[in-house]
Structure 1
């Protein structure tokens, strides 16, 4: 049942109803959970804040309190998840004027980033030690993510029908709801629906692996009475054991996606092509994610440019 709010009602109660009305059923479950996490923090930090008292100062104080325990990017996300509700409350006359105007985003100094990807030699070492002599297993999953850069949920949703072996193409058009009750879900965004080229060796391997499998059933998820639940910790655990055994930097399955993109960039593949292959919504996402690699490549480019210009005599 919807409540009619006045300026004397609590902001946290307004925000909770706003999420239910505007966000539930309209966004992915994983995104919705972030809104509810924000709600929980508002309830912790300012449980008694009334709508009439949401001013620039109180809103900035809320941001500052949250920033004491979170990095700047996380604080920015927190602000964006609140801002829509706040502006709607302004439109409804429950908050006098926009308190988010000129907000200052603070945050803790980012922790030192761990190595997120393997170099070409390290990846080669990993792949040659995978156990691929039996039927479908998680080693095959690791191989495919390394060769394609797919997201975990995208790879889980793959069926034999998604492979066009004749044209060396793999279609990515759905994800698997591994955080919920299983089943197919839409991709992360429209750009995530894509076709990517796969090398001939991968074609040969997966054509043999999938030839006797049901065309429309997920390759990596067992169907018994119901689909067996899958957790990324299972695959990450296997990958971690391989990395430790082979004396490689420990990375996650998502780290294989970073590895794939990094190797392409170092090989000279354009940012636009890498963005399309990964299913990024824009090249900006790719540039931000792989800024350190792009900067390293730009340093090498300077030498190439100087050599080229010095030959123009």
Structure 2
């Protein structure tokens, strides 16, 4: 035990990741844990398990916070905390050094707009070059109309379209960060069917006619595509339309926002977006939901004032 307490903390953390996380979490999440490990090597290369006091832990968080925003520091803290609590359980650390930790961080950069309003979206879509062949402008249109994640839209094949029932099946993603190829969806809730409008049905039934049934519609050749490439195409469309520049992920936010403002229930929006729970939707779109609640209160008061 004495020997274990003299182990360097970053080495314990690396072992902890391997035992508890490897193979149990998605590769993207695993990459975040490995990045946290690299920061531990940088920040506390000589800190032993037995030296991990509250003040040592707080100092490490403060050092990390000098180069990161508060939310990023909070994520860093949570990723380490799991390992530390296990070390406390095993008697390698006497007391929980993460207790009452203060999370600091750099002032966040000015946030870019996350979504467009309906007029801005329509203006931007009207500038797209929708050719007779599949191109990235078609991709932008489809994400705007469905709210799909970038990786989900990349993985779409002709087989996923059910034009007769105006349905689109989402059951896989494309490994655009790795070497290409299909991957499972983010979570089980992400496997879903999305209703599409008749105009999209007409456009895409013509567009994908004759394409290989099980090949991604938007990818050719090696299937290598970068998020930044499509974001640049969207950026140019936004600039042409003279609307705020948003990302492809921002189109997903735009889609959800328009549905909420149109009066679609949070539960329906959560299902359409493939969120694991309504809580995710509520947290992500809290500002819009609050705005709608204020409108509801006005409506209730007007209704009640009519009673006598």
TM-score (norm 2): 0.95
Give the equivalent residue in structure 2 for 1:281: 276
Deviates more, 1:18-27 or 1:6-15: 18-27
Give the equivalent residue in structure 2 for 1:82: 80
Give the equivalent residue in structure 2 for 1:291: 286
Partner Cα separation in structure 2 for residue 147 and residue 38 of structure 1: 37
Give the equivalent residue in structure 2 for 1:171: 169
Give the equivalent residue in structure 1 for 2:213: 215
Give me the CA root mean square deviation: 1.7
Partner Cα separation in structure 1 for residue 45 and residue 303 of structure 2: 64
Question: CA-to-partner distance for each residue in 1:63-98, whole Å, 9 max, x for gaps?
Answer: 232223323322221112112211222233221232
Correspondence 1:117-196 to 2 at 5 A? 117-196=115-194
User: What's the CA shift for 1:268?
Assistant: 0.8
Q: Which of 263, 267, 271 matches 2:266?
A: 271
Give the equivalent residue in structure 1 for 2:298: 303
Give the equivalent residue in structure 1 for 2:230: 235
Is the CA contact (8 Å cut-off) linking 1:5 and 1:14 kept in structure 2?
no
Give the equivalent residue in structure 2 for 1:199: 197
Partner Cα separation in structure 1 for residue 276 and residue 73 of structure 2: 22
Deviates more, 1:230-239 or 1:11-20: 11-20
Partner Cα separation in structure 2 for residue 106 and residue 113 of structure 1: 18
Q: Which of 56, 62, 65 matches 2:63?
A: 65
Deviates more, 1:47-56 or 1:293-302: 293-302
Are the structure 2 counterparts of residues 52 and 166 from structure 1 closer, same or farther at C-alpha, using a change threshold of 3 Å?
same
Are the structure 2 counterparts of residues 109 and 298 from structure 1 closer, same or farther at C-alpha, using a change threshold of 3 Å?
farther
Deviates more, 1:5-14 or 1:19-28: 19-28
Question: CA-to-partner distance for each residue in 1:232-286, whole Å, 9 max, x for gaps?
Answer: 1111011111111221111111111011011111111111111111111122211
Question: CA-to-partner distance for each residue in 1:177-219, whole Å, 9 max, x for gaps?
Answer: 0000111111111111111111111111111111211111111
Is the CA contact (8 Å cut-off) linking 2:8 and 2:48 kept in structure 1?
yes
Partner Cα separation in structure 2 for residue 194 and residue 76 of structure 1: 32
Partner Cα separation in structure 2 for residue 146 and residue 59 of structure 1: 44
Which sections of structure 2, spanning at least 5 residues, go unmatched? none
Partner Cα separation in structure 1 for residue 124 and residue 234 of structure 2: 9
Is the CA contact (8 Å cut-off) linking 2:134 and 2:207 kept in structure 1?
yes
Partner Cα separation in structure 2 for residue 210 and residue 264 of structure 1: 27
TM-score (norm 1): 0.93
Q: Which of 237, 250, 254 matches 2:245?
A: 250
SS of the equivalent of 1:130 reads coil
Which sections of structure 1, spanning at least 5 residues, go unmatched? none
Deviates more, 1:104-113 or 1:280-289: 104-113
Moved over 6 A (4+): none
